[in-house]
Amino acid sequence: MKDRYIDVEDLIAARATPPGISALAIVRVAGPGCVDAVSRAFSRPERLRAAEGRTLVRGALLDIRDGRPVDDLVAAVFRAPESPTGQDQVDFMTHGSPAVVAAVVDALAALGFRKALPGEFSFRAFVAGKADLVESEAIDELSRARTAQAREAALRRLGGGPSAEIARIRTEVHELLAACEVLLDYPEDEVAGNLTSRLPAARGAVEALAKLSAGHAGARLRLEGARVAVAGRTNAGKSSLFNRFLREERSIVSDEHGTTRDWIEASVDLEGIPIVLHDTAGLRSTDDRTEAEGVRRSRLLLESADLILYVVDGTVGLAEEDGEFLAERPDALPVWNKADAPGCGPVPEGFHSVSALDGRGFQDLALAMVARLPGGSGSADGLAGERQAALVEAARASLSDAIAAIGAGEPLDLVSLDLRAASDSLGELTGETASPDVLETIFTRFCVGK
Ligand SMILES: Nc1nc2c(ncn2[C@@H]2O[C@H](COP(=O)(O)OP(=O)(O)OP(=O)(O)O)[C@@H](O)[C@H]2O)c(=O)[nH]1
Ligand SMILES: [Mg+2]
C-alpha cells in the first residue's frame, strides 16, 4: 500500500540534515508512542522512556536484530503536544558520516519506523495546528533562502504576519456573507443597512489583497532569484566584469579575442537577490569550429536569461553588430566598459558606464540591474509562492466582484456566490479548506526530513 501523508499515526523516521560528511547529523522520528518504540533499541531504555519533553538523553542506539550498538548519540525528546510536529518526537543527534546515518535509519526501520515522505514532519505540524499553510511554506522557504533578505522575509512570513492579515480579511468576507444571507432570508428594509455598512471594510479588504498580490513579484525574486547573462563582442571585458561581480578571478581574462568559449556560471548576491551570473563567449562569426560552437551555445543561453548585460568596449566604440543586437533585444542592459582607459569614448545614451578594471560604476549598474528584474523594485515582504499569489488574486477578484454586484443591486444569491468563492480561495491559502490532494502536492515539494 502506498504511504500517505494522511496516515499521521504511522511511526516515521528520516535524516533531517543534508547527505554527505559532517560532524553531526540529525535523524528525526515522530508518531504516537515513538519514544517507547525507540526505547526498545536504546542502551538506557528506562531513562529514555521516562524522559520529559524537551530533554536530552545520551546513549547508544542498538540494532534490535543483533543487539549491537549502531551509534553513540544524543536523543532530544519532545512530547506531544509541545513538539515541532505536535506529536511525540525524537531528534537523534548522531555522528555525521553517511555510514552512521544509514545504519541509524536502518535500525529504526527494524523497529517499525517507515521512511518519512518529503515534508511529512511539516505536514504533521500543520495537522496539529502548529502552523497554517502559509507558515509551513515559509519554513520551506527559510531552508531555501540564499540571501539575507530572503531569509528575513521568510522569517516574517513564518512569524505569521501574512497569516494574521489573511485571517482578518477572511473574517471580513464572512461578515459580509452573513449580512447577505440575513437579507436573503428577511428581505425587509431594516436589515439592508447591515450590508451597506459593511462595504467600506470590504473595500479595505480588497485593497489589502491587492497589496499582498503586488508584493508577490518582489518576494518571489528574492527567494527564487534570477539568471543574468553577460554578453557582447569579443574582448569587450565580459569576463573581467563577471569576475568583478564574483570578487574572484574565476573566468580567464586575456587581450586575445575569443578567450571564453564554454559559458561559465556562478552565484552572486546582488542587493539581496540571489543571481546566477553567466559569462559567455564573445559574439562574432569565426572559422574556428570550437569557438563557433561556444558562440552558438551562448546565444541559446541568452534566450532563456532573465536579464542580459550587453557589454561594449568603450575604447573600440559601437559596431554595427552591437546596434543589431540591441535592436533585437531592447530588454538588454547596455554597458560601456573600460571607463578608466584614456581612449574610452563618450558614453552613448542609455549605456551604463563602468570599469571592470577599477570597479567604477558598478554600484549604479547593480541598482539598474535590480530595477530591470521583474519584482526588483518591490520589497521581499509579499507572498513568494505562485500558488499563494494565484489564490490571493482570485480572492481579490471575487470580493471585488461581490462589492460591485452589491453596488449594482444585483440579486443577493449571486453576490453570496462570489463571497463564497473569495472565502474558499483564502481558506485554501491558509490550508483551512485545502483538499488532501492540494496539501499533498504542497508538502511533497519539501525536503525529506522537513
Ligand atoms: N582598461 C581596461 N581594460 C579592461 C577592462 N575590462 C577588461 N579589460 C581588458 O580587456 C581585455 C579583454 O578582457 P576580457 O574580460 O577577457 O574580455 P571578454 O569580453 O571576456 O573577451 P572574450 O572572452 O574574448 O569574448 C583584457 O586585456 C582585459 O584586461 C576595463 O574595465 N578597463
Ligand atoms: Mg571572456
Question: Within 13 Å of residue 244, how many CA atoms lie on the same side as its CB?
Answer: 20
**Residues of the chain where predicted confidence (pLDDT) is lower than 70:** 1-3, 189-192
Residue bearing the CA closest to ligand 1, atom 27: 255
pLDDT digits (tens, 9 = 90+) for 95-147: 999 999 999 999 999 999 999 999 999 999 999 999 999 999 998 899 889 99
Whose CA is closest to atom 7 on ligand 1? 237
| pLDDT value, residue 290 | 95
What is the secondary structure of 4-36 as a DSSP string? Answer: -TT-TTS-EEEE-S-SS--SEEEEEEESTTHHH
Single-letter residue type at 271: E
> Which ligand sits closest to the CA of 231?
1
CATH number of 137-215+383-431: 1.20.120.430
pLDDT digits (tens, 9 = 90+) for 400-429: 999 999 999 899 999 999 999 999 999 999
Burial of 348 (0-12, 13-18, 19+ CB in 10 A): middle
Counting ligand 1 atoms within 8 A of each CB, the residue from 235, 241, 242 with the most, and so the one to mutate, is 235
Secondary structure (3-state) at 429:
helix
Domain 137-215+383-431 in the same topology as domain 12-131: no
Report pLDDT digits (tens) over 309-334.
Answer: 999 999 999 999 999 999 999 999 99
- Please report the pLDDT score of residue 182 as a whole number: 87
What 8-state DSSP symbol labels residue 190?
A: G
Read off the DSSP letter of residue 51: P
Q: Which residues line ligand 1 (CB under 6 A)?
A: 232, 234-240, 253-255, 257-260, 282, 337-338, 340-341, 355-357
253 CA → ligand 1 middle, Å: 6
CA 378 to chain centre: 16
Closest CA to 73 of 21, 23, 11: 23
Residues 312, 282: Cα–Cα separation, whole Å: 11
DSSP string, 62-120: E-TTT--EEEEEEEEEE-TTSSTTSS-EEEEEEE-SHHHHHHHHHHHHHTTPEEPPBTH
Q: Return the residue matching grid coordinates 467600506.
A: 200
Q: What is the pLDDT of residue 220?
A: 94
Of the residues 230, 234, 238, 240, which should be mutated to test ligand 1's pocket, given the most ligand atoms within 8 Å of the CB?
240
- CATH architecture, domain defined by 12-131: 2-Layer Sandwich (3.30)
pLDDT for the residue numbered 316? 97
* pLDDT of res. 177: 94
The Cα–Cα gap between 393 and 214 comes to: 9
Q: For the chain, what are the domain ranges? A: 12-131, 137-215+383-431, 223-372
Q: Is domain 223-372 annotated with CATH 3.90.550.10?
A: no
